[in-house]
Homo-oligomer: A and B are copies of this chain.
Amino acid sequence: MSTIPAELDVIHAYRMLRLLREFEDQLHVAIARGNVPGFTHLYAGEEASAVGVCLHLADRDVLCSTHRAHGHFLAKGGDVDALALEIFGKEGGACGGKGGSMHVADWSRGMWGANAIIGASVPHAIGAGFAFKYRGEDGVAVSFGGDGASNQGAGFESMNLAKILNLPVLFVLEDNGYAETTASGWAVAGRPVERAGGFGIPSVEVDGTDLLDVYTKIGVGVRRAREGGVRRSSMCACRCSTAITKVTRKPTARPARSSSCAPSRTASRVSACRCSPPDGRMPRRSTRSMRSARRARQRPSSARSTHRFQPCRP
């Protein structure tokens, strides 16, 4: 059991964890009711990863995210209302409703955006790191990616570049056990954390459900990146606890645009889109992070709905 570092504001940390979870829990209900257009990927269960990393970051630091970005957005200090409005596609949303869940961003907070092409945002993080170095600033860039993303070429190229250009970049690999339905234990050859070694980048594996574990070990990496020296880039493979909380569904609230589109069996599938109970397939570790902070009252809902995207008939 980790001890609580003196400088850590545990109340703030706990607030953040709760904020991320509450947001997703409420969103999940809205999704199940059919009120959210498009594709939505919930971060529930992975809170300690985003929060544990972002506690080390300031607004000037940059975060490059994935399709599963709500938690990163909030942990980086993004506005809750702007996030919600964006996900619902409304004016006042973080991107004016043009982006949606898969593209939420808050540039003023260094949250450079959800990016729904797997692996695509990793090079942007090294670009941010490059800019920091170019201008002699002490900012740090963090790239988040999933276990699935770890098999995209872009990430490897970026690690190599970050190393040889000695850039202040932290690569966080959030392994939640699955890429859609495909198990990371099968799809990712070798141990992810060892891949960084092939590039001479130091790496560490942390428990992505344990805030203190994330906070403490990632802190080393962030400091290394920020303070410079010869080994600036770091990689961290973050094992997150829950199963994939992926809910993709069709919008229903929209008016049909073309009268000839008869209702189809899509409708019945929508109702099947409710949140399924924890399927018990994943290790159901409790969020030790919260327990550590002695405020945990609730276990993460490792809800996993595998319902595939059903196109709405316009």
Interface residues, chain A, with chain B CB atoms under 8 Å away: 151-154, 156-157, 159-160, 163-164, 186-190, 194-201
Contact = CB atoms under 8 A, between A and B. Distances in A.
B151 A163 contact: no
Given A156-B153, A157-B151, A160-B151, A194 B198 contact: yes
A197 B201 contact: no
Contacts of A197: 190, 194, 197-198
Contacts of A156: 153, 156
Contact of A152 (B157, B186, B198, B200): B157
A164 B189 contact: yes
Contacts of A201: 189-190
A4 to B, nearest CB: 34
Contact of A186 (B164, B186, B188): B164
Given A190-B200, A195-B199, 14 more contacts: A151-B157, A151-B160, A152-B153, A153-B153, A160-B187, A160-B188, A160-B189, A163-B189, A164-B189, A189-B201, A190-B197, A190-B198, A190-B199, A196-B198
A159 B198 CA distance: 13
Given A195-B198, A197-B198, A198-B194, A189 B157 contact: no
A192 to B, nearest CB: 8
Nearest to A192: B198
A201 B189 CA distance: 9
A30 to B, nearest CB: 37
A186 to B, nearest CB: 6
Contacts of A159: 189
A186 B196 CA distance: 17
A180 to B, nearest CB: 16
Contact of A200 (B153, B187, B189): B189
Contacts of A190: 163, 197-201
Nearest to A163: B189
Contacts of A157: 151-153
19 contacts: A151-B160, A152-B153, A153-B154, A153-B156, A153-B157, A160-B188, A163-B190, A164-B187, A164-B189, A189-B199, A189-B200, A189-B201, A190-B197, A190-B199, A194-B197, A194-B198, A195-B198, A197-B197, A198-B198
A154 B154 CA distance: 9
A154 to B, nearest CB: 6
Contacts of A194: 197-198
A123 to B, nearest CB: 10
Contacts of A195: 198-199
Contacts of A196: 198
A214 B148 CA distance: 36
